[in-house]
Amino acid sequence: MRTQVGIIGAGPAGLLLAHLLHLRGIESVVLEVRSRAYIEERIRAGLLEQGTVDILDGAGAAARLHREGMIHEGLALRFDGESHRIPLTDLTGRRVTIYGQQEVVKDLVALRLGYGAPLVFEAADVAVHDIDSERPSITWTEDGAPRRLECDIIAGCDGFHGICRGNIPPDVLRIYERVYPFAWLGILAEAPNVHHELIYARHDRGFALATMRTPTLTRLYLQCRPDEDLGEWPDHRIWEELHARLARRDGPSEVHEGPIVQKGVTAMRSFVAEPMRQGRLFLAGDAAHIVPPTGAKGMNLAVADVWYLTQALEAFYAGRGTAGLDGYSDRCLRRIWKAQRFSWWMTSMLHRFDAGDAFEHKVQVAELDYLCGSEAGMRTLAENYVGLPLD
């Protein structure tokens, strides 16, 4: 089998890249190790920057997003039992949209299968070959039979645990990493939303976030230990902790309880692999970088990467040379590091690092207090949160 671009991984990065290339007349084959049901049900974050929505819109992939997405023009920071609104849209002219990542994945899978382009699920033993030549290839096993795909370019969109990054030689690959001493326990509950906007809460017992999926499906997160055992978190303990961390000084929390339909623990890590390219292999999304979810940047960064990669591939196939491909890694990394900084900053400001460190608590609250009392401070947060420009 032969194609122009071989894409490994059917997450938001791989699926969107395949679709953007299709719209430009560039052929690709997408290979995914998991089943369709698995990738469509996998619960992840769900906040889209306006730039992400605009890219999906321009690609004709936003019809359901526009019907079901929840548009937000502000968010609340809560500390010392009081909420402070950051008016994102007043400060930046831009909005964000809540729409689950797996909904984006479902929409992109349906589009691709709708026009009959190749998308292989349950591709086992995926491996890349000859990436330093002009004829790289991918091999895998499908229904027990060995398969091979020759291509011009390989896009490594296979997430943090994928195989692509490992093909960059160790003497070339540089890893920058920070692992946080906590994780997030996330739940999905059939309950009214806590508030019509997101609440990011700093509390002495640890961070909490109140977000949503639909008006009656609420997503809530609690800072927990990285090795947290979900068995120690019966529903009543989760609600008790949410009430406490989201409590208001002058009244009870607005948390509404309801049946918990999903529970999970997400590790918190900042990670960047440089460069994002080796020969004809290009990494995009979580394959190259991970951010802690406090800044809501994960999926947005994946979309920005494939937007840049699409532009570079379009120029390459139009005979305009390899300058775009050669500059891909640096162009992505410049924006990625700004999102890394923002995600690290939000995480540092809102989480409890060391329960015994009273000085740190005071400094955190002072920073939040300063931020919420300063137009410049709020604007800095807002500009980064709604998404830096895609130059």
* Cβ partners under 8 Å of residue 235, min gap 6: 260
Annotated catalytic residue within 293, 308, 328, 351 = 293
Nearer to ligand APR, 127 or 355 (CB): 127
Task: Decide if residue 265 touches ligand APR (CB under 6 A).
Answer: no
Residue 186's φ and ψ, nearest 5 degrees, are -110, 140
Least Å from the CB of residue 374 to ligand APR:
30
For residue 306, CA distances in Å to 100, 198, 222, 312 come to: 19, 28, 31, 10
Query: x/- string (CB under 6 A) for ligand PHB, residues 80-99?
Result: ------------------x-
- Residues forming beta bridges with residue 73, ordered by sequence position: none
Residue 214: both structure tokens together: 């639909």
Q: Return d(Cα 31, Cα 9) in angstroms, integer.
A: 6
Sign of CA dihedral 303, 52, 218, 378: positive
Site string for ligand PHB, 294-323 (x = CB under 6 A): x-x---------------------------
How far apart, in whole angstroms, are the C-alpha atoms of residue 56 and residue 51?
9
Q: Which long-range contacts (CB under 8 A, 24 or more apart) does 143-152 make?
A: 147/1, 147/123, 148/1, 149/1, 149/2, 149/3, 149/6, 149/29, 149/31, 150/1, 150/2, 150/3, 151/2, 151/3, 151/4, 151/5, 151/6, 151/29, 152/4, 152/5, 152/280
Active-site annotation holder among 99, 180, 200, 221: 200
Identify whether 293 is a catalytic site residue. yes
72 labelled catalytic:
yes
The yes or no reply on residue 292 touching ligand PHB (CB under 6 A) is: no
Query: Rounded distance, CA 342 to CA 355, Å?
Result: 23
Annotated catalytic residue 146: no
The yes-or-no answer on residue 221 being catalytic is: no
Return phi, psi of residue 389, to 5°.
-60, 150
Rounded Cα gap, residues 226 and 236, in angstroms: 21
Contact in structure between 209 and 187 (CB atoms under 8 Å): no
Sole window of 80-88, 159-167, 178-186, 374-382 interacting with ligand APR (rule: CB under 6 A): 159-167
Closer Cβ to ligand PHB, 26 or 296, answer by number: 296
Cβ atoms of 18 and 117 within 8 Å: the answer is yes
CB 340 within 8 A of CB 332: no
Which partner, ligand PHB, ligand APR, none, binds residue 292 by CB below 5 to 8 Å per kind? none
Q: Which of 107, 152, 274, 286 binds ligand APR (CB under 6 A)?
A: 286
Q: Is 162 in the site for ligand APR (CB under 6 A)?
A: yes
| 385 is known as an active-site residue | yes
Under the binding rule (CB under 6 A), the answer on residue 159 touching ligand APR is: yes
Return the number of the residue (157 or 386) whose C-beta is nearest ligand APR. 157
Applying CB under 6 A, does 185 fall inside the site for ligand APR?
A: no
211 touches ligand PHB by CB under 6 A: yes
- Three-state DSSP string of 118-146: CEECCCEEEEEECCCCCCCEEEEEECCEE
Residue 184 beta carbon to ligand PHB: minimum distance, rounded to whole angstroms: 8
Using CB under 6 A as the binding rule, the residues of this chain from 195 to 224 that contact ligand APR are: none
Whose Cβ is closer to ligand PHB: residue 123's or residue 350's?
A: 350
Site for ligand PHB, residues 184 to 203, rule: CB under 6 A:
198
Residue span 32-61 as binding mask against ligand APR, x where in contact by CB under 6 A, dash where not? xxx----x----xx----------------
Region 290-309 residues binding ligand APR, contact defined as CB under 6 A: 298-299, 302
Interacting positions 51-110 with ligand APR (CB under 6 A): 101
The residues carrying an active-site annotation are: 72, 200, 293, 297, 385
- The residues binding ligand APR (CB under 6 A) are 8-14, 31-34, 39, 44-45, 101, 123, 126, 157-159, 161-163, 285-287, 298-299, 302
